[in-house]
């Protein structure tokens, strides 16, 4: 039987157990032995990180050929119009190639959203809004590069779901475990 942990990674935490002396690591939050991250999440991003004690499951989660959908809540600078959303839905040309089409929609700020430390910069003359983006690939910093390419830089990035798993009910810095 495989075990999986769903961890709500706070902003500023690096996705490794070994300490680098600069940032908090997974070791500061997860004491269960034998678990390893199935994928990564940038230090400046928050949200769902899966960890497992099963190498085959870890591979299945991270292998691009399985194309597990990853859903993000993205706060962007400005308010994207339908044309910008259509560009995200059709695939965005980045320096390393065209992204696969994404599911993209405007959303209300998530209910019960936790505060971020440090807070997102605020500019009184530039509005922000939230998008829900679902992708099926994982290029380096892909969401940030996609929103910037369509003219709406990412201010805050929260991964809400991977495949069947989500952050629902898991506070920042906390984890939930299950057998699968």
Q: Which CATH architecture describes the domain 69-162?
A: 2-Layer Sandwich (3.30)
Which residue has 């769903």 as its token pair? Answer: 6
Q: Cα 111 to chain center, whole Å? A: 17
pLDDT at 154: 97
pTM exceeds 0.85, yes or no: yes
Same-fold call for 3-64+164-179 versus 69-162: yes
Active-site amino acid positions = 42
pLDDT of 102-146, one tens digit each?
A: 999 999 999 889 999 888 887 888 899 999 999 998 888 999 999
CA–CA distance, 111 with 97 (Å, rounded to integer):
35
Question: In which residue are the tokens 């009910």 written?
Answer: 169
What are the structural domain ranges in the chain?
A: 3-64+164-179, 69-162
- CATH C-level class of 3-64+164-179: alpha beta
Residue bearing tokens 């807070």: 119
Question: What is the model's pLDDT at position 52?
Answer: 94
């Amino acid at each position: 039987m495989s075990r999986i942990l769903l961890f709500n990674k706070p902003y500023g935490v690096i996705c490794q157990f070994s300490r680098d002396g600069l940032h908090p690591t997974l070791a500061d939050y997860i004491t269960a032995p034998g678990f390893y991250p199935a994928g990564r999440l940038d230090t400046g991003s928050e949200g769902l990180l899966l960890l497992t004690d099963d190498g085959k499951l870890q591979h299945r989660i991270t292998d691009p050929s399985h194309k597990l959908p990853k859903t993000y809540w993205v706060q962007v600078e400005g308010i994207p119009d339908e044309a910008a959303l259509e560009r995200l839905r059709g695939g965005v040309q980045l320096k390393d190639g065209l992204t696969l089409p994404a599911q993209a929609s405007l959303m209300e700020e998530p209910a019960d959203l936790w505060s971020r430390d440090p807070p997102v910069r605020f500019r009184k003359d530039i509005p922000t809004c939230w998008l829900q983006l679902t992708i099926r690939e994982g290029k380096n910093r892909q969401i940030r590069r996609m929103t910037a390419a369509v003219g709406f830089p990412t201010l805050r990035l929260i991964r809400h779901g991977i495949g069947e798993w989500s952050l629902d009910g898991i506070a920042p810095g906390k984890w939930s475990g299950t057998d699968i």
